[in-house]
Structure 1
Amino acid sequence: MGTWTNGGYTLYNNIWGSGAGTQTIWANSYSNWGVTANHPNTGGVKSYPNATRNVNRNLSALRTLTSSFNVTVPSSGAYATTYDIWANNHAYEIMLWMNKTGPVGPLGSLQTTASVGGHTWQIYRGSNGANEVFSFIRTSNTNSGSIDILAVMNWIRTQGWYGDVLIGDVQLGYEITSSAGGLNFTTNSYSVAFS
């Protein structure tokens, strides 16, 4: 796994799934980077190249937690462009799917559809065996925008799904299942801000 730290963020190439192909990462900065991935046309997530910002604050101690992003993604393959937010030392995983292509879907079962944090989502709840997963799947694909992550995290708390959790890493990247022949995923800009 290649890693690079820049501007308070860490980039991870993060090839982890079984049957993965090749994937190379490039970076000008934490906010401008990308991968060329050539993963076979088989099921199962192969990789999650991402840029990570560590927050390390309790939910109740945050006044703001926002992010903005702009990506260029392929029109083929099977993947999701998603935030991965970790809470309580990886006990909870909150995924915010901004776009998806091909036969990919979230864990668990559909709970509701809601507008929160500036977007409308189908919200799923499940487990991967190691941690609980809350997946917010945007009802239509977008390649850029901003999100009020704090509003999303507080919405989950109001459902009683967790309490005053410690928010750890906020990641943005590409959960790639297949990209046969080699496809390019580019982060044009990305930032996380909190206070």
Structure 2
Amino acid sequence: MFSLSLLLLCVPLVSSMPRMHNHHVRTLDTAPLSGQYGSVNVGQYSLLNNLWGEHDAASGSQTSQITSMEGSTIAWTTNWTWTGGSQVKSFANIQLNTGINQQLSAFSSMPSAWQWSQSNTGAVVADVAYDLFTSDTAGGSNVNEIMIWLANVNSGPISAVYNAQGQAVPIVTNISLEGYTWNLYSGSNGYNQVYSFLLTSGIAESFQGDIYPFLSYLIDNEGMSSSQYLTTAQAGTEATSGTAIFTTSAYNLSIN
């Protein structure tokens, strides 16, 4: 007869421990940002709280936090409240960090999708926009700022010309781009030239399209050089006054 110990030696051992896979798990930092220039990086993006104009406020605060990230699609939320002052207090935004500092002539497309909502309390002054900057050199000083407004809440763009009622006057009206109609405004903020595309009516809470045709329009019609470098590509909410909760359920942007 075989001994019990010999039988045990003949039986293959099967581990009860789970198999380990070498899958990379991304740690998502969902802690709220509250500092003036608080930021957190995830994937190809950074979330920037960016309270650059808070000194103009009599009182107020803002917090921003990432809520999810799946593939190249990110979600985040911002809570802000500001009183006093007439200038922008903050621009909570998602910044793209990959594909930046290339010449515009090297781009073929900038596909993006953005689904967002904003719950306003009281008399809110704000906008929701893409915000791009270009320079003569990679990483150089800003020469042009290009804004694409998806919402205008009692606010207004920078303009070289205003009418008798104090409203900005567009340099071009009724431009058809990416399924919407836009007016284009132009003026200086004291540091660089600002081009702002504003919807002629309504808001776009679910935008899907290509951002590059807006740059192409300026190259073809407003003399912006295709040799300029894209140094910054951001999207978020500019807050001036009031109280709001801004929620992005899905956002992505890439450069091809």
Question: Which of the five TM-score ranges fits, normalised by the shorter chain?
Answer: over 0.9
Is 1:105 aligned to 2:128, yes or no?
Answer: no
Q: After TM superposition, which residue ranges in structure 1, 4 or more long, deviate above 3 angstroms?
A: none
Is 1:45 aligned to 2:88, yes or no?
Answer: yes
Of structures 1 and 2, the one scoring higher in RCO (CA 8 A, sep 6+) is 1
Q: Is the 8 A contact 2:120 2:245 kept in 1?
A: no
Higher strand proportion (structure 1 or 2): 1
Q: Which residue of 2 aligns with 1:190?
A: 251
Q: Distance in 2 between matches of 1:160 and 1:22?
A: 38
Q: Which residue of 1 aligns with 2:115?
A: 70
CA RMSD in angstroms comes to 1.5
Is 1:167 aligned to 2:230, yes or no?
Answer: yes
Q: Which among 33, 51, 57 is matched to residue 76 of structure 2?
A: 33
Deviation at 1:41, TM superposition (A): 5.0
Q: Distance in 1 between matches of 2:119 and 2:104?
A: 35
Q: Distance in 1 between matches of 2:240 and 2:42?
A: 27
Q: Is the 8 A contact 1:75 1:101 kept in 2?
A: no
Count of matched residue positions in the alignment of Structure 1 and Structure 2: 192
Kindly provide the amino acid, as one letter, of the partner of residue 64 in structure 1: S
Deviation at 1:56, TM superposition (A): 2.1
* Stretches of structure 2 lacking an aligned partner (at least 5 in a row): 1-36, 162-169
Is 1:80 aligned to 2:127, yes or no?
Answer: yes
Q: Distance in 2 between matches of 1:143 and 1:161?
A: 31
Q: Which residue of 2 aligns with 1:19?
A: 56
Q: Which among 176, 180, 199 is matched to residue 115 of structure 1?
A: 176
Q: What is the TM-score of this pair, normalised by structure 2?
A: 0.71
Q: What is the TM-score of this pair, normalised by structure 1?
A: 0.92
| Residues 118-175 of structure 1: CA deviation (Å, up to 9, x unaligned) | 3211100101010100000012212111132111101100114311121122111001
Larger radius of gyration: 2
Amino-acid identity (%) = 31
Is 1:95 aligned to 2:131, yes or no?
Answer: no
Q: In structure 2, the residue corresponding to 1:107 is in which secondary structure? A: coil
Q: Distance in 2 between matches of 1:44 and 1:167?
A: 26
Q: In structure 1, the residue corresponding to 2:79 is in which secondary structure? A: strand
Q: Distance in 1 between matches of 2:190 and 2:209?
A: 28
* Stretches of structure 1 lacking an aligned partner (at least 5 in a row): none
Deviation at 1:12, TM superposition (A): 0.5
